[in-house]
Structure 1
Amino acid sequence: MNKMNPALARAEAFAGRFGLQRPILLAPMAGACPPALSIAVAEAGGLGACGALLMQPPAILAWARDVRAGTRGPFQINLWVPDPPARRDPAQEARLRDFLAEWGPPVPPEAGAATPPDFAAQCEALLEATPPAVSSVMGLFPPAFVARLKAAGIAWFANVSTVAEARAAEAAGADVVVAQGMEAGGHRGCFDAATAERDMVGLFALIPAVVDAVRIPVVATGGIADARGVAAALLLGASAVQVGTGFLRCPEAQLPAAWADALGRAAPEGTVVSRVFSGRAGRSLATSYVRAATSAQAPSPAPYPVQRGLTAAMREAATRAGDVERMQAWAGQAAALARAEPAAVVLRSLWDGAGALLG
């Protein structure tokens, strides 16, 4: 009798531990995780996800209720660990407002004062929602919150981007680390914002290094959008994969059509990491705005969340107009592999194709 491939056996053990039929996780993408997408992913045997960064507690609870109304499958809810308060520079912000007014509506002086929802209140909402798993990004959850998660039987998935961060997450009590390669779309999950554009480690170098450094399961994310990427990640030691951009063209993602279409045309070199949307480093399509805002002539971005507040009017106007050149069009380097098909079809092709490749 043939033994199962060790990579497949490890992945199936992970799936069994967390109530999955297939070890495929939806990435928790703030603003791009409607309940319909998580319902479809969970119904197909994967793990749904909510990026709750911008959500007030009632919205977090409503999202969880909506997903539970559509599926009995598992899901995670993700929160950013807050940075220290941003240092404000009124003169710099004035230069940025002038620059941004060339790309959208005039930016009022108070726009940079936008603040995220209260983190402590969001944490309470997570405990009330009692998802099977919660995940952290940009740092580690406070020890007191981790203790409450463990008491409630909620698993903690800690997003990391370096070996040092993975070791710190394991020491802090994480049940799983999600290793994010630099290929990933959206925000870089680095604990220190100052190093996010410097410590750029590719996923296929990061996976085995993290696997060798920790004893807990490792989930691979960043640039995985087809069965070949899944199989390669598992061969390198990952127990599961997390996919973001690869699901964004699915109808359940409800992405603006201009953004979804642009993903299908994007070469790997057609994406870029910058701070020009939020003040935190993130990978997006290299649109006209991004190229202009990263040029030597443009003012430097303000820190997070000041920059996010300053760019809000432009981003909202671009979405209304269907203008991808000004949208916050996050995209991983494997964007062109994303398929405009139902999420269940995409998820099954990822796992079934990986299984065929791994024998």
Structure 2
Amino acid sequence: MSQWPDTRILDLLGIELPIIQAPMAGATGSAMVIAASNAGGLGSMPAAMLSIEQLREELKTIRQQSQRPFNINYFCHQTPAADEQRAREWKNLLEPYYRELGVDFEAPTPVSNRAPFDNAACEVLEEFRPEVVSFHFGLPEQSLLDRVKATGAKILSSATTVEEAVWLEQHGCDAIIAMGYEAGGHRGMFLSDDLSSQVGTFALVPQVVDAVKVPVIAAGGISDARGVAAAFLLGASAVQVGTAYLFTPEAKVSASHHKALRTAKESETAVTNLFTGRPARGILNRVMRELGPMSDKAPAFPLAGGALMPLRAKGEADFSNLWAGQAFTLGVEVSTAELTRRLAEEGLAKLLRR
């Protein structure tokens, strides 16, 4: 019998440990998912940056090497209409960097994309039938959501406010990920684009717990056992951990990202829209400092990154997103499996000692 004070997520998702490895597009591959799930937690495979063929190959590998439950995560944003004037103004803002680095400013701008959940993605999901499916930026349209539910998958989605949590429960989520402002990567906000609405994890979690009947998963700023224990004391049934997994050998991070995680100061993260057009937290770098982390000239998500791609090829650290949450300095270099077990074992020990 589990000693955890709340076992609803364990029972709902069929996992042993209430530790969910966050889906981090670009940094997470099948190796991390397999290791987290086989350790007893829930591994999460991000689909947003993969083609259908790439996703299918990753899922084949997961099913071959793990019999445990796992999660596929999808973005469910709306693809924006083309806005040539805004794209031109954005590229003009970056022109000095093109000149400095000797990049051809007149060359066609590459396309930066994140794939939203659609019929093709749903067909892959129906083929592999993951035990859990999670969404970012709300939920897909009802017809697609009904198809996901028909596979038997449990549905999770991120809420950054109490209002979003209530909306997600009303629209069929089995559990809510309460995503505090400390979290790295893209904010899951979808009912508002007002950043002043965003609050910290340990203010958000108990309010969401009080507002919904489904289990709540705490996310943001949780990197060690203290965060796990605190989340449970505030009413969470599990935690979702992202940045701490970037320190594992299974993480697919660039050399510049790897260095930034190990050398930046704890105060050097900010929420920025420069890299994709949507607010996301990362470690400060040159372009964020010089342009300011937020710009009203950045094209709508996910198009902003296109004009930065040629610059990234020349000066990666200065023009790449270095996603990280505010607790990144707590990261330790251990394997995904060890981190998953350590978070659970040490977190439970703290809860039992109180």
TM-score > 0.5 by shorter chain = yes
**Residue identity matched to 1:33:** T
Local SS of the residue matching 2:5: helix
Matches within 5 A, 1:244-255: 244-255=242-253
Matched, 1:172 2:167: no
Q: Which of residues 56, 59, 65 is equivalent to 2:60?
A: 65
1:164 Cα deviation after fit:
0.6
Greater mean alpha carbon deviation, residues 263-272 or residues 176-185:
263-272
Local SS of the residue matching 1:252: coil
1:51 Cα deviation after fit:
1.5
Taking structure 1 as reference, are residues 93 and 149 closer, same or farther at Cα in structure 2, changes over 3 Å only? same
Retained in 1: the 8 A contact 2:266–2:327? yes
Matched, 1:122 2:133: no
State the match for 2:31 in structure 1: 36
Alpha-carbon deviations, 1:271-296, whole Å to 9, x = none?
A: 00011111111000011221112179
Matched, 1:333 2:333: no
Gaps of 5+ in 1: none
State the match for 1:101 in structure 2: 98
Taking structure 1 as reference, are residues 100 and 47 closer, same or farther at Cα in structure 2, changes over 3 Å only? farther
Matched, 1:344 2:337: yes
Retained in 2: the 8 A contact 1:97–1:107? no
State the match for 2:218 in structure 1: 220
**Residue identity matched to 1:71:** S
1:16 Cα deviation after fit:
3.1
Q: Which of residues 11, 16, 23 is equivalent to 2:18?
A: 23
Matches within 5 A, 1:122-141: 122-141=121-140
Distance (Å, rounded) in 2 between the aligned partners of 1:92 and 1:174: 40
Local SS of the residue matching 2:16: coil
Distance (Å, rounded) in 2 between the aligned partners of 1:182 and 1:109: 38
State the match for 2:304 in structure 1: 307
Distance (Å, rounded) in 1 between the aligned partners of 2:331 and 2:56: 30
Taking structure 1 as reference, are residues 99 and 275 closer, same or farther at Cα in structure 2, changes over 3 Å only? farther
Q: Which of residues 3, 9, 31 is equivalent to 2:5?
A: 9
Local SS of the residue matching 1:191: coil
Distance (Å, rounded) in 2 between the aligned partners of 1:103 and 1:340: 36
**Residue identity matched to 1:308:** G
1:59 Cα deviation after fit:
1.6
Distance (Å, rounded) in 2 between the aligned partners of 1:166 and 1:295: 27
Alpha-carbon deviations, 1:151-198, whole Å to 9, x = none?
A: 210111011111111111001111111111010001111104632x33
**Residue identity matched to 1:208:** P
1:316 Cα deviation after fit:
4.2
Alpha-carbon deviations, 1:70-123, whole Å to 9, x = none?
A: 211221111111235245125413413414425754455642654444632222
Local SS of the residue matching 1:61: helix
Distance (Å, rounded) in 1 between the aligned partners of 2:10 and 2:99: 49
State the match for 2:272 in structure 1: 274
**Count of equivalent residues:** 348
Taking structure 1 as reference, are residues 158 and 150 closer, same or farther at Cα in structure 2, changes over 3 Å only? same
Distance (Å, rounded) in 1 between the aligned partners of 2:22 and 2:13: 16
Aligned-residue RMSD, C-alpha: 2.3
State the match for 2:142 in structure 1: 143
**Residue identity matched to 1:140:** L
Retained in 2: the 8 A contact 1:100–1:106? no
Retained in 2: the 8 A contact 1:186–1:283? yes
State the match for 1:80 in structure 2: 75
1:268 Cα deviation after fit:
3.2
State the match for 2:284 in structure 1: 286
Taking structure 1 as reference, are residues 99 and 242 closer, same or farther at Cα in structure 2, changes over 3 Å only? farther
Distance (Å, rounded) in 2 between the aligned partners of 1:193 and 1:316: 34
**Residue identity matched to 1:326:** F
Retained in 2: the 8 A contact 1:157–1:174? yes
Retained in 1: the 8 A contact 2:8–2:215? no
1:352 Cα deviation after fit:
0.9
Local SS of the residue matching 2:202: helix
Distance (Å, rounded) in 1 between the aligned partners of 2:202 and 2:149: 31
Retained in 1: the 8 A contact 2:91–2:307? no
Taking structure 1 as reference, are residues 94 and 17 closer, same or farther at Cα in structure 2, changes over 3 Å only? closer
Retained in 2: the 8 A contact 1:132–1:154? yes
